[in-house]
Amino acid sequence: GNSVTQMEGPVTLSEEAFLTINCTYTATGYPSLFWYVQYPGEGLQLLLKATKADDKGSNKGFEATYRKETTSFHLEKGSVQVSDSAVYFCALTQGGNNRLAFGKGNQVVVIP
Amino acid sequence: GAGVSQSPSNKVTEKGKDVELRCDPISGHTALYWYRQSLGQGLEFLIYFQGNSAPDKSGLPSDRFSAERTGGSVSTLTIQRTQQEDSAVYLCASSLDTTTSGNTIYFGEGSWLTVV
């Protein structure tokens, strides 16, 4: 079945540092790929998405490129802010039900 | 409405009691999803509806869990004879439909359920 794998453990970094969160997936065919973010005390929000190979999703300074050859959708931001502290979930949908399969999530803590 | 609305936002219930959680999707969205978020389990799919029909109930943890949707709009998730392991955040989401891959799925803020 479809699955998403995110790197283990929380990520702690200083303000203005470069952020990368790895995400790889297993799926047959051509899934759509998403990053969702959950800020403290809030619900899940869509951060960005890509629906076909080589597409780049971008929003709020974050980017992720759909790489079919490596089955990856890594999230990057060049200069993080304290306000980026949140939990980030990689996810995919495929098939006729549009059901999301999520990774375990990564907590990102940005220190001033 | 402007977004997916869920109620109650918080619920504390005694073990063995039944609970109902309500979801009001974004107007015009025919697809509705229920997920559960708990420590150690991440985000688990429970059930989805296309209109009033639920083609995929594979994620429901046990027969104590059921869900219905009427009028293609509001959905209710019912947990009977609650157990402590049911404590979690129950998230509802909606999208325009289920047939178009890549449709954005919008989430509500969740119902926090605590079983004591």
Model confidence over A92-111: pLDDT tens digits? 987 666 788 999 999 999 99
Can you give the pLDDT at residue B1?
52
A14 vs B71: which has the higher pLDDT: A14
Can you give the pLDDT at residue B41?
75
Can you give the pLDDT at residue B63?
94
Cβ neighbours of A25 (radius 10 Å): 21
Per-10-residue mean pLDDT for chain B, 116 residues long?
89 97 94 90 89 88 95 95 96 82 85 96
Cβ A31–B33 below 8 Å, yes or no? Answer: no
Lowest mean per-residue pLDDT among A25-29, A33-37, A89-93: A25-29
Can you give the pLDDT at residue B66?
97
Cβ A42–B109 below 8 Å, yes or no? Answer: yes
The helix (run of H) or strand (run of E) holding residue A12 is: strand A11-14
Can you give the pLDDT at residue A66?
97
Can you give the pLDDT at residue B103?
77
Can you give the pLDDT at residue A22?
97
Q: Which residue of B has its CA nearest to A49?
A: B102
The strands making up A19-21's β-sheet, listed across from edge to edge, are: A19-21, A75-77, A62-65, A56-59
Cβ neighbours of B67 (radius 10 Å): 21
Q: Which residue of A has its CA nearest to B55?
A: A97
B106 interfacial to chain A (CB closer than 8 Å) = yes
Query: Which residues of chain A does B103 touch, with a Cβ-Cβ cutoff of 8 Å?
Result: 93, 98
Can you give the pLDDT at residue B56?
82
Can you give the pLDDT at residue B39?
80
Can you give the pLDDT at residue A8?
81
Confidence of residue A71 (pLDDT cuts 50, 70, 90): very high
Q: What DSSP line would sit under chain A, residue for residue?
A: --EEEE-SS-EEEETT--EEE-EEEE-SS--EEEEEEE-TTS-EEEEEEE-STT-EEEETTEEEE-BTTTTB--EEESS--GGG-EEEEEEEE-GGG--EEE---EEEEEE-
Query: Which residues of chain B does A93 touch, with a Cβ-Cβ cutoff of 8 Å?
Result: 101-103, 105
Q: Is the pLDDT of residue A75 over 90?
A: yes
Query: Which residues of chain A does B100 touch, with a Cβ-Cβ cutoff of 8 Å?
Result: 98
Strand A62-65 to A19-21 pairing: unpaired
For residues B52 and B1, give the distance between their C-alpha atoms in angstroms, rounded to a whole number.
19
Can you give the pLDDT at residue A90?
97
For residues B63 and A81, give the distance between their C-alpha atoms in angstroms, rounded to a whole number.
45
B102 vs A112: which has the higher pLDDT: A112
B4, B105, B106, B112, best to mutate vs chain A, most A CBs in 10 Å: B105
A41 vs B93: which has the higher pLDDT: B93
Query: Which residues of chain B does A103 touch, with a Cβ-Cβ cutoff of 8 Å?
Result: 42
